[in-house]
Structure 1
Amino acid sequence: MSDEKVKIDVPEVPSVLPPAEQKKWVETYKAAFEEAQNDDPGDVVKQRQSALREANRLLRVEKITSADQAKALPKWKLVQCEEKDGVLKVVTIDGKKYSFGVGRGAKQQAPAGQGGGQNGAGQQGGGASTPPPAA
């Protein structure tokens, strides 16, 4: 194989990203592609996969553990963030659903949509949840 570098053809940027993040995504993709050309010379498919994987890391949303953390996320990382009846419901761009109690007794937190239905404010019902702490 020759050491010829392949022209970097950047794929379409995810539309969910705001302009500043789009630029960062493109720069990350190009840098990762160039690095992959050195790591896997001649294997354009692997180079593209590696670059895409690296650029898409910008889309990751860390696990949310509180209502304050959810409210602090950039708006573009949220599909839904609304408060109703003392519960903040959040859906992130990676499809993860969370709900948090807000207001009085706001220490309740439950990831919704993980085997227990949509009601994260009062985790009741059967299933593989941990028992409540002894009083």
Structure 2
Amino acid sequence: MWNKEDSNQEPCLYDYSEYVRNKNWDDFINYMIAEYEIKPIFEFSKCCPYGWNISFKKSGRALCRCYPLDGYFIVLVVVGQKEKMQFETEYKTFTPYMQNLYENTQEGMGQKWLMIEVEDQEIINDIKRCIDIRYKRK
């Protein structure tokens, strides 16, 4: 069994899926790989309680970071200064959960770090829209 808190035991996608046990996890990871044509980056973080996580970066820009948890997961999306105006014109069309999260997240250095607990497909759709705002595809 994979131990997500062991920095010497690098996981594979299967390990994450078995740990999270949530269809939304697999769907979201596969979406990011296919839609943005990128590979997940497995990273270990000693500074937070999550241990191993997955980052997605495109053209040197961080799109999101996924934190696997027992039965669910969290996606971190940063709303920075470049996308803040567009995000603020659109976020009222997001789910009430996302609206509340955005409104109650403190801003630091011109950014809001949204730690989004994924509960259902509607939240996944919100996350996809956030990433589309963050990274404008050609």
Same fold (TM over 0.5): no
Higher helix proportion, which one?
2
Higher strand proportion, which one?
2
RCO higher in 1 or 2 (8 Å CA, sep ≥ 6)?
Answer: 2
Provide TM-score, normalisation by structure 2.
Answer: 0.28
Provide TM-score, normalisation by structure 1.
Answer: 0.28
Whose Rg is larger?
Answer: 1
